[in-house]
Structure 1
Amino acid sequence: MNAITETQAGTDRKALLAAAVTVVLWASAFVAIRSAVEHYTPGALALGRLLAGSITLGAILLVRREGWPARAAWPGIVTSGVLWFGVYMVALNWGEQEVDAGTAAMVVNVGPVLIALLSGWILKEGFPRKLLLGMAVSFSGAALVGVSMSDGGRSSVLGVILCVVAAASWAAAVLAQKPALKHASALQVTAFGCMIGTVACLPFSGQLITGIAHAPLSSTLNLVYLGVFPTALAFTTWAYALARTTAGKMGATTYVVPALVVLMAWLVLGEVPGWLTFAGGALCLVGVAISRARQRSMN
C-alpha cells in the first residue's frame, strides 16, 4: 500500500504543478490581452492567438512524433476545439470590450461552478463537501475582486451575455475534453483542439490581416505571446492535470487566476489594488486550498 500511496502522491504533485503553470499563464493573458485588444478585433485576436498556438503545438507534435489521436478521442477534441478554442475566446474578447474587467471576472467565474455541477452529474464525479465549500469561498473572493475592479455597475447587457456564453462554453468544453484524455495524450488533445478552433475562426482572417498591418509591434508581440504561452503551453498543462484529477477540482483551481491578475497588474501595469481586492484575492486562494485538500481515509 505504501508504494501505491507514494505513486499517487507523486502523480498528485505533478498534476498540481501542471495546474499551477496553467493558472499563472492564464492570469498573464489578461495583461497581454489588455494591450492587444486595443488594436485587434475580438475575432482577429482569437484567430491570431490560435494560429500562433497551432504552429507551436504542431511543431512539438512533429518533434515528439505523437501522430493522430485515437478515433475515440475525436468527439471530445472537436467539441472542446470549437467551444473552448473558438467560441470561448471570441466571446471573452468581445465581452471584455463591452464590460469592465471586474464584471467580466465575476461573470466568467460562473464557469468553474458549472464545471463542478455538470461533472458531478454527467461524469459521475460526485459532489465532495470540501470541493463545494472551497468553490463557495473562492466564488465569494472572485465576486469581491470583481466589485473592487468594477466601474460602479455601468455594464453592457451584451457584454454580460457574452461573458455568460464564454463561461458556458468553457464548462461544456471541459466536460467533452475529460473523456477524450482517456484515449489521447494531453498534447494531442490540446494541439488538435487548437487547430480545430483555428479553422472555426478562419472567417476572421481579413480582420487579422488588417490588424497586423496597422497594429503596433507591441500588440502583435502580445498576440504571439498569447498563442505560445497561455494557449499552447497552458492548455497542454491543463489537459495533463485534468487527465490526473477531477474536472471539478481543476475548475476550482482556476479561481486563483483573479488573484494573480491583480498581482500582475500591480507589478507590470502599476495598478495598485485596494484593500477589497486584496481581501477577495485572499479568499480565492483559501477556497482553492480547501477544494484541493485530499480526503483522508477513515480506515
Structure 2
Amino acid sequence: MTSAQADRGTPDPDSTSVTPGTPPLALAAGLVTVVLWASAFIGIRAAGKDINPGALTLARLFIGAVVLGVVVAVRRVGLPPRADLPRLLLCGLLWFGIYNVALNAAEQRIDAGTTAMIISLGPVLIAILAAALLKEGLPRALVVGGGVAFAGVLLIGVATSSQGLSAGTGTALALLSAVAYAGGVIAQKPLLANTSALMVTWLACLIGAALCLPFLPQLIDDLSHASGEAIGWTLYLGVFPTAVAFTTWGYALARSTAGRMGALTYLSPPIAVTLAWLILDETPPWLALVGGVLSLAGVVFSQRKK
C-alpha cells in the first residue's frame, strides 16, 4: 500500500483480493461480527417491547451513523468513486434499510426459532448469487460445510420454535429480510475493492437511516414512553451490532469470498441460543445443542481452502 492510499483510507488491492481461504485476521473480524449480530437478537427482543420495528431501525442506524461518522472524520477516509454510487445505494437500501426493518418486524410476530430457520436461507442465496454474479464459484468445502451448518440451524429452529413455519405476516417478513440480506451482501462485496470497509459501512448506514426517516415521528413517540432498559438496548444495538459489527463484517468480506462469509453467519443462531441461556436464563433444548455443534462443524469445514 502506498502512503497516498493510506491517507485516503483506500484499501490495499493485495489485501482485498479474494484468497483461496479466509485469512486469520479477517476470520477473527468475521467472528466478532457474528457474536455481535447474535447479541442483537436479544437486544431487538428487549427494545422491541417499547419501540416499534421501523423506529428501532431508524434509532440504531442513526446512532451507528454518528459513531462511524466521528471515526471517518478523525481518520479522513476517502470517498468511493462516483461509479459505485448506484451499488452503494442498493447496499444501503437492502442491507441496512429493508433487512433491519423486516427482521425487527418479524421478531415481533414469530418466535426466534422460526425466524432463525428462515433467515438461514440468506447464506444459501449469497452462495448462489456470488457464484452467478461475482464468479466466485462453489467450492466443495463451502457447499458441504454450508449444507451441514444449514442443517444445524434448522435443528436449532425446530428445537426453539413454538409456531413452526406457518404462513403469516411474520414468515413473509423473515423471508423478505433473508432476500434483502443476500442482495445487500452481493451489492457490498464489489464496493470493497475500491473503498475502505469503514467508509462503505458509514455511507450505507446513512442511506439506510435516510430511508427510515418516515419513522421519525413514531420514534419520538416511542422514546417518550420507553423504559430505560429499552433505551439502553437501543443504544447498544446502534453502537455494537450496527457500527462495530457491520464495519468488521466489511473488513472480513473484503478479504474473503461472499460465500464463505455468508456461511460464517451460520454461527449466529447457536451463539444467540447460548447468549439467551446465559443472559435470559433460557435453557436450550438438547436438540438445539446438537444443532449448534453441527453448525460449528459446518462453518469450520466451509472455511477450508479446498
TM range (shorter): over 0.9
1:16 paired with 2:30, answer no
Please tell me whether the aligned partners of residues 81 and 197 of structure 1 are also in contact (alpha carbons under 8 angstroms): yes
Q: Which amino acid aligns with 2:262?
A: G
Q: Deviations over 1:39-71 (max 9, x none)?
A: 011100000010100000101100101142222
**Which whole-Å CA distance do the structure 2 matches of 1:69 and 1:215 have between them?**
38
Q: Give the counterpart of 1:286 among 264, 289, 297.
A: 297
Matching of residue 133 in structure 1 with residue 129 in structure 2: no
Deviation at residue 14 of structure 1 after TM alignment: 1.0
| DSSP 3-state at the match of 1:124 | coil
Letter in 1 for 2:253: L
How far residue 78 of structure 1 moved from its aligned partner, in angstroms, is 1.1
TM-superposition CA deviations, 1:10-52 (whole Å, max 9, x none): 9701110110110010011111111100101110000001010
- Structure 2 residue aligned with 1:34, among 21, 41, 45? 45
Alignment of 1:66 with 2:77, yes or no, is yes
Distance 1:259 1:281 in 2: 5
Give, in angstroms, the shift of residue 157 of structure 1: 1.3
**Aligned to 2:23, what secondary structure does the other structure show?**
helix
In the other structure, the counterpart of 2:256 is: 245
Instruction: Give the Cα separation in 1 of the matches to 2:213 and 2:186.
Output: 25
Where does structure 2 lack aligned partners over 5 or more consecutive residues? 1-13
Report the secondary structure of 1:254's partner residue. helix
Q: Counterpart of 1:255 in 2: which secondary structure?
A: helix
- Post-superposition CA distance 1:210-239 (Å, at most 9, x none): 111000011011011101100000000000
Q: 1:72 to 1:154 in 2, by over 3 A?
A: closer
> In structure 2, how many angstroms separate the alpha carbons of the residues matched to 1:76 and 1:269?
39
Q: Is the 8 A contact 1:72 1:180 kept in 2?
A: no
The letter of the residue matching 1:123 is L
- Maintained 8 Å contact 2:21/2:304: no
Would the aligned equivalents of 2:114 and 2:165 in 1 still touch at CA under 8 Å? no
> Which region of structure 1 is more displaced relative to structure 2, 10-19 or 52-61?
10-19
1:271 is displaced (CA, Å) by: 0.5
Change in Cα spacing, 1:121 to 1:201, as seen in structure 2 (3 Å) is same
For residue 9 of structure 1, report the CA deviation from its aligned partner: 10
Q: Tell me the residue number matched to 1:206.
A: 217
CA distance in 2 between partners of 1:134 and 1:36 (Å)? 34
Provide the C-alpha distance between the structure 1 equivalents of 2:30 and 2:117, rounded to a whole number of angstroms: 21
Aligned residues: 289
Q: Partner of 1:49 in structure 2?
A: 60
Q: Does 1:276 align with 2:291?
A: no
Is this contact kept in 1: 2:21–2:303, CA < 8 A? no
- Residue 21 of structure 1 contacts residue 234 of structure 1 at CA under 8 Å; is this kept in 2? yes
What does residue 148 of structure 1 align with?
A: 159
Q: Superposition RMSD on alpha carbons, in Å?
A: 1.6
User: Aligned residue for 2:126?
Assistant: 115
The whole-number CA distance in structure 2 between the counterparts of 1:210 and 1:162 is 24
Find out whether 1:174 has 2:213 as its counterpart.
no
2-structure distance, mates of 1:198, 1:269:
30
Question: What percent of counterpart residues are identical?
Answer: 51
Q: CA deviation at 1:250?
A: 0.3
TM-score, normalisation: structure 2: 0.92
